[in-house]
Structure 1
Amino acid sequence: MTPFQEFDAQLEDWNALSASTPCSGLLLGNGASMAVWHDFYYESLFEKTKSIAEKPLSQTELSVFEALSTRNFEQVLSALKTASKVNKALAINSASPRKRYYAIKEALINSMQDVHIPWRLMQPETLTCWNTELARYATVYCSNYDLLTPWALMQAPKNFNDLFDTATATFELNTALTKSKATRVLYLHGALHLVKNQEGKARKLTGSQPTLLSNFAINHSISALDDVPLFISESSSDDKRKSIRQCDYLSFCHEQLMAHKDALCVFGHSLGEQDQHLIDALRQAPLKTLCVSIYPRSEAFVRFQKNHYAALFADKNLTLRFYNAKTHPLGYPQHSVPLEV
């Protein structure tokens, strides 16, 4: 590994780099979302649900997270769903799991609406740019669970294949393996418009662009709906691996990342400790070149970031190329939407 002090602060221009080194895949991180809406910068959705003004998590709800040793909402909601069904099967007269399910889901809904950019503030030019840029790749691996990518895809959906193009909008492995010229979009951690049933089967919520966020905000009856939100909001990398293994769709997405060949573009992704499962997938993939975006905050920051990424792949026969995030179409400053006061 190159010592920290030997890295310079120079960053390549994305246009020149992409012309000389075409990338067949794009790994999208939260930096892409933050380039549009700064409120996507938050350390913990779990912490926000504890402090949200409207109906935050109570100590009773928090005890469920503690009992399961997780901060992952999908795991907790799934467990409460199972508990409710078991109670019903055994004729146990307890509404506590159902009530906790509703309360946690409501806190999650309120928190997401608090941090997510409203549809009415989305700029058409940004959605068009995202749609055009994502379509340049054979596969887009999105680790974000917000709705920016789904909204962008809906601008011209025929250019994309999100693997939910079935009559019931569910993920089917045999359909997913069918070759297509359209850009595949894989949500590595799920997304707000995806849900999972009790058997781990993934399904996409349908709707128009303006209603997609509000669809997530419907707290359905637990007796009438077998689905829970499918997105891994946070937790340790090992915890994320557990959630991924329990869902056929997420497992498939990660297997595809592990098999990616040639060159991969990474945009807005820190590849930090919480992303060790993604780092391991990249290390296992037969990649030749990794083109990584770095935001030019300062020369010291650029050197630090180069050192960080180089350390992750120091023992791999992999070429690392570093480019200025602001020169990539997804990082153009004009995409940034001012926060409402």
Structure 2
Amino acid sequence: MPKIISFDDALKAAGSKDCSLLLGNGFSASYFSYRSLLDKADLKPDDPVRALFDRLKTVDFERVVKALEGASEVEMAYGNKEHAEGLIKDANRLREALVHAIRGTHPTHREEIEDVIPSCVAFLASFDEVFTLNYDLLLNWVSLSDEAHLTDGFGLGERRNGFLGPFKIGAHCKVYNLHGGLHLFRNGVDVDKRIAGASGIIDAIAQTITTSKRFPLYVAEGTSAAKMQRIKANNYLSHCYEKLGASMGPFFVFGHSADPNDAHIYSALFRSKITHLYFCIYQPTDEKLKSVSGELARYKERAGSKVEYTFVDSESAHVWDRPSPEEQAAKVAR
């Protein structure tokens, strides 16, 4: 069995050098339901709209809505007004289904996780750059803490109509959303960030989807090749991916399994200038370690990399349940 070290020991081994972090869905698993949004959309198996996802070989809500709207235009041109109107109703129903899925996978408001945010802020403070594969809102909620200092490149943008943006490459940025996010929306070739209204960010996102008829920018495809195709099609996502490939120094991975459906991520990592990879594993077993080690070894060999990797017990990081400074002081005093 490969050696497992604690998170604190990994930080010590990394030294005082700037460390980078990649977050997978294990980071969000305690608060975000990582069934796919399509699974949570409450579309019945015999619903033609659900079948259209399979027919188009996609999990992209926006693509299916555009297909429905395009088909409606064709039907209208052929004089089939009733059928055309039915297709538009289905498109609007699908927008509502996406909103239902977003609500069903998240806490309702940031306040529901407010007590654990300081713990997460303390965890993230060890890293100079944070890359995330997650498109949920948890990291965004954490970044709103004054102590987080998690700049995302939107700070030089303008606030208008509930959005902050656009993202600017020259702006100070510490957080990179490799697979987009539910709070990010395309604006032509640019990307803007949706900001919370009076009733919170989820309601703001819902309004943008259903009323403004805009869709979040997120990558939910099932294969690495399909994900890369989506990334290359967007300037913001491409920039984030390029930044991952330019990583240097010690690099930590937390909440990810190194599955082949994210091979593009490890290809970039092992071709970068990182000096050591610290891979966090949840409840490690011989079988799990052997499997992950095999995947990492394959990525490393394909990239021609000499970077070594060390396994870390992810639970020892205490992302969401770190003792407060007061609790730590009291423990030392005892």
**TM tier, smaller:** 0.7 to 0.9
Q: How far is 1:208 from its partner? A: 6.0
Query: Which residue of 2 is the match for residue 339 of structure 1?
Result: none
d(CA) in 1 for partners of 2:216 and 2:65?
8
Flag the 1:221–1:305 CA change in 2: closer, same or farther, 3 A. closer
Question: How big is the shift at 1:319?
Answer: 1.3
Q: Distance in 2 between matches of 1:202 and 1:26?
A: 23
In structure 2, what is the equivalent of residue 193 of structure 1?
Answer: 183
Aligned to 1:267: 254
Check the 8 A contact 2:271/2:305 in 1, yes or no.
Answer: no
Match of 1:167 among 147, 158, 169: 158
Q: Which amino acid aligns with 1:108?
A: L
Q: Does 1:47 align with 2:42?
A: no
1:67-216 alignment runs, 5 A limit: 67-77=55-65, 83=70, 94-95=84-85, 98-119=88-109, 122-156=112-146, 159-165=149-155, 166-168=157-159, 169-172=164-167, 175-178=168-171, 180=172, 184-197=174-187, 199-207=188-196, 211-216=200-205
Identity %: 24
Contact 1:135-1:160 at 8 Å conserved across structures: no
- Give the alignment partner of residue 59 of structure 1, picking from 47, 57, 77: 47
1:322 paired to 2:311:
yes
Q: 1:235 aligns with which of 222, 228, 247?
A: 222
Higher Rg: 2
Using a 3 Å threshold, how does the CA distance of structure 1 residues 301 and 242 change in structure 2: closer, same or farther?
A: closer
Contact kept, 8 Å, 2:22 with 2:133, in 1: the verdict is yes
Kindly indicate whether the alpha-carbon contact (under 8 Å) linking 1:26 and 1:139 is maintained by their aligned counterparts in 2.
yes
1:32 pairs, out of 27, 31, 41, with: 27
- How far apart, in 2, do the equivalents of 1:64 and 1:244 lie? 23
Matches within 5 A, 1:262-341: 262-314=249-301, 315-330=304-319, 332=321
Correspondences of 1:8-23 after superposition (within 5 Å) = 8-21=1-14, 22-23=17-18
Partner of 2:327: none
SS of equivalent residue, structure 2 residue 145? coil
Q: Give, in whole Å, the separation in 2 of the partners of 1:187 and 1:207.
A: 18
For the Cα contact (< 8 Å) 1:74–1:231, is it kept in 2? no
| TM-score under structure 1 length normalisation | 0.79
Q: Note closer, same or farther for the CA distance 1:10–1:317 as it changes in structure 2 (3 Å cut).
A: closer
Listed one character per residue, the Cα deviations across residues 212-270 of structure 1 (whole Å, up to 9, x for unaligned) are 12222336556xx3621111233322222222222211111111111112221110011
| 1:285-321 superposed Cα distances (whole Å, 9 cap, x missing partner) | 2222111101124333233333332332134111101
Aligned pair count?
A: 312
Q: Distance in 1 between matches of 2:197 and 2:315?
A: 30
Structure 2 residues without counterparts, runs of 5 or longer: 324-334
Matches of 2:272 and 2:198, distance apart in 1 = 34
CA spacing shift, 1:218–1:41, aligned 2, 3 Å: same
Partner SS for 2:139: helix
Contact kept, 8 Å, 1:200 with 1:246, in 2: the verdict is: no
Structure 1 pair 98–226 and aligned structure 2 pair: CA distance change class (3 A): same
Q: Deviations over 1:150-173 (max 9, x none)?
A: 11001127712211220042234x
Superposition CA RMSD, Å:
3.2
SS of residue paired to 1:218: helix
Decide whether aligned partners of structure 1 residues 97 and 260 sit closer, same or farther in structure 2, where only a CA change above 3 A counts: farther
Residues in 2 aligned to 1:246 and 1:85: alpha-carbon distance in whole angstroms? 26
SS in 2 for 1:196: strand
| Residue aligned with 1:279, SS | helix
- Displacement of 1:210 in angstroms is 6.4
Which residue identity does 1:47 align to in structure 2? Answer: D
Shift of 1:281: 1.8
Q: How far 1:46 sits from its partner (Å)?
A: 2.2
Conservation of the 8 A alpha-carbon contact between 2:190 and 2:235: yes
